[in-house]
């Protein structure tokens, strides 16, 4: 059994960048994360079985340019992914039904996965 911790710091009280993405871009992003996860041997989507409308994605193990290419290098997406990578966080995808938009923002969850937690003296995989 594992316990998932959320990290909150004073910076979380500030307004984090938010990007509005399209369903087509989101589908390309999911496909890219699955392929990269298979290549790296990591689970990059949480939950991976059926992401649905709300999910989180690990972005730290992947280059910023590779991720943002799926979003046509949108400056808003670049700001979100860059902030998430800087703070070692995941990105959160949420569908806002009221506004009929899909939002991407920095998640409160650490980007480190269970495979990156290791006993002292053993190498960690990222």
**8-34 confidence digits (pLDDT tens):** 665 555 678 999 999 999 999 999 999
For 15-36, b/e burial (b = at least 16 CB within 10 A) is ebbbbebeeebbeebbebbeeb
Residues β-bridged to residue 19: 104
User: At residue 6, what are phi and psi to the nearest 5 degrees?
Assistant: -105, 145
Alpha-carbon dihedral sign for residues 37, 2, 107, 60: negative
Residues β-bridged to residue 109: 6
Token readout for 36 is 């990269």
Q: How confident is the model at residue 121 (pLDDT cuts 50, 70, 90)?
A: very low
Q: Is the pTM of this model over 0.85?
A: no
The DSSP annotation for 70-93 comes to: GGTT-HHHHHHHHHHHHTTEEEEE
The string of pLDDT tens digits covering residues 48-78 is 666 567 889 999 999 999 999 999 999 999 9
């Amino acid at each position: 059994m594992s316990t998932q911790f959320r990290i909150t710091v004073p910076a979380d009280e500030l307004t984090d960048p938010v990007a509005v993405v399209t369903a087509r871009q989101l589908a390309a992003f999911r496909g890219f994360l699955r392929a990269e996860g298979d290549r790296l041997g990591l689970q990059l989507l949480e939950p991976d079985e059926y992401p649905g409308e709300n999910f989180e994605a690990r972005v730290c193990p992947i280059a910023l340019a590779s991720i943002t290419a799926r979003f046509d290098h949108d400056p808003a997406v670049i700001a979100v992914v860059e902030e998430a990578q800087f703070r070692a966080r995941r990105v959160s995808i949420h569908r806002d039904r009221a506004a009929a938009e899909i939002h991407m923002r920095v998640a409160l969850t650490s980007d480190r996965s269970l495979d990156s937690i290791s006993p002292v003296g053993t190498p960690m995989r990222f």
